[in-house]
Amino acid sequence: MDTKTLLTESEMPTHWYNVQADLPRPAEPPLHPGTHQPAGPDDLSPIFPMGLIAQEMSQERYIEIPDEVQDIYRIWRPTSLYRAHRLEKALGTPAKIYFKYEGTSPAGSHKPNTAVPQAYYNKQEGIKRITTETGAGQWGSAMAMACSFMDIECKVYMVGISYDQKPYRKSLMETWGAEVLSSPTNTTNSGRAILAQDPNSPGSLGIAISEAVEEAAGRDDTNYSLGSVLNHVLMHQSVIGQEVRTQMEKLDAYPDILVGCVGGGSSFGGIAFPFIKDKLDGKDIRFIAVEPEACPTITRGKYTYDFGDTGEMTPLVKMHTLGHTFVPPPIHAGGLRYHGMAPLISLLVDLELIEAKAVHQNAVFRSAITLARTEGMISAPEPAHALAVAIDEALKCKETGEAKNILFLLCGHGNFDMSSYDAYLSGSLEDYSLPDELIERNLASVPQF
């Protein structure tokens, strides 16, 4: 039976895969926010360790995973690849639906795959404290755990509205020893500037990033850590796709369609990039990145240089963006509420190697309930976006009679998101369609040069 395809620890990848080695066109460099010249290692070294800066810029195809990181990965890796027989049956589709499940990590998502190496390289370079931001709390909890493993202090700026709505994520971070603040705070210039405009600001990822970067830039013993978007983050997540490749080979199967959700793009890059070279070599595989209609970065944003944060402190990166002033409506998939996108994902979209789709949250939760009642897993709201599109594709197969292999990434569980399931079940979940004027207005914040 192929219900659950396992790997042994000895079959785990020993290297991260770097898609930069195989791109048909190189990614455009990040630019210094002040001079607009390409940002070099020295521009990044106030907030990142050299080990990670080197990976960010590397063109090497494979980079060895340090033994200490591999040892920690083994706590939850390798993760299982499932065949969703019961979901297929409920849908009455001839398609075969596979999903890779990352919800079995201690923090409940794929995020520890990069949190652990990030904490490791900071520790190697003598860093004592790490600041970071978190939206729904998944990244903050992964980083809190990784820092506790490496004996590093962790300070998390948590988007204010999530701080109030998701108290147990805060408890989780504190259990792993982190300090958690509700952002915007009055302890940074960026936070105070926002509070001066709006004392009741609900916060956003862009604001929380500004606060965390500002603190790290101002202290020698402190670095900053980002849970998505950057090249090295997507590379660390390649353990997911490399494992899937081995698992699909064991099943003598290959995905026709690969679906994942995109917030900043790290989980999607993690599962998709190890298959990208095949597509460049002519293999017939579709990649679909799914985002919320309430934060339609790829489908309605612009591919251009923009800031990664609201306070204009980060380098400018070439990416799909809704404008760094954009504050998304309060949908429940907090991890998908980011104005930008990983430059590597944006480039592959621009090259027409990756497609994008946007979905509304009621359709997303309808799919999540279907998964819960067939396969049992309680999906996080974010990957339920991928699930919704996987189900759509499976239903198309029902019409055409094609037995396609559909693979999606279930990158986290939703055990801390039950209030959003309550909202769906009680019929009080709102779908948000953004007016064109709102998108135009925020795109006007994108720097012109």
Ligand X SMILES: *Cc1c(COP(=O)(O)O)cnc(C)c1O
Q: What does the binding site for ligand X look like in residue numbers (CB under 6 A)?
A: 109, 111, 138-139, 228, 261-268, 335-336, 380, 382-383, 411-412
Q: Between 95 and 107, whose beta carbon lies closer to ligand X?
A: 107
369-403 burial code (b ≥16 CB/10 A, e <16): ebbeebbebbbbbbbbbbbbbbbbbbeebeeeeee
Phi/psi of residue 125, each to 5°?
Answer: -100, 20
Q: With both helix axes pointing from N to C terminus, report the angle between 138-150 and 112-124 in degrees, rounded to the nearest 10.
A: 40
Closest residue to ligand X, Cβ-based?
412
Amino acid present at 160 = G
Give least dist CB 390 to ligand X, A.
Answer: 15
Give least dist CB 282 to ligand X, A.
Answer: 28
- How many CB atoms sit inside 10 A of residue 282's CB? 6
Give least dist CB 210 to ligand X, A.
Answer: 19
Q: Between 77 and 111, whose beta carbon lies closer to ligand X?
A: 111
- The answer to whether the beta carbons of residues 165 and 130 sit under 8 Å apart is no
Q: Between 147 and 295, whose beta carbon lies closer to ligand X?
A: 295
- The answer to whether the beta carbons of residues 81 and 255 sit under 8 Å apart is no
Give least dist CB 228 to ligand X, A.
Answer: 3
Adjacent-strand bridge partners of 305: 318
326-338 burial code (b ≥16 CB/10 A, e <16): bbbbebbbbbbbb
Find the largest Cα–Cα distance for the chain: 61
Q: Between 262 and 349, whose beta carbon lies closer to ligand X?
A: 262
Kindly state the tokens that stand for 148: 């506790």
Give least dist CB 111 to ligand X, A.
Answer: 5
Q: Between 205 and 443, whose beta carbon lies closer to ligand X?
A: 205
Give least dist CB 138 to ligand X, A.
Answer: 3
Residue count of the chain? 449
Give least dist CB 150 to ligand X, A.
Answer: 20
Q: State yes or no: cis peptide before 78, omega within 30 of 0.
A: yes
Q: Between 163 and 268, whose beta carbon lies closer to ligand X?
A: 268
Alpha-carbon distance of 189 to 54, in angstroms, equals 30
Q: Between 99 and 268, whose beta carbon lies closer to ligand X?
A: 268
Q: Between 187 and 419, whose beta carbon lies closer to ligand X?
A: 419
Coarse DSSP helix, strand, coil percentages of the chain, rounded to the nearest 5 percent? 45, 20, 40
Give least dist CB 441 to ligand X, A.
Answer: 25
- The answer to whether the beta carbons of residues 374 and 86 sit under 8 Å apart is yes
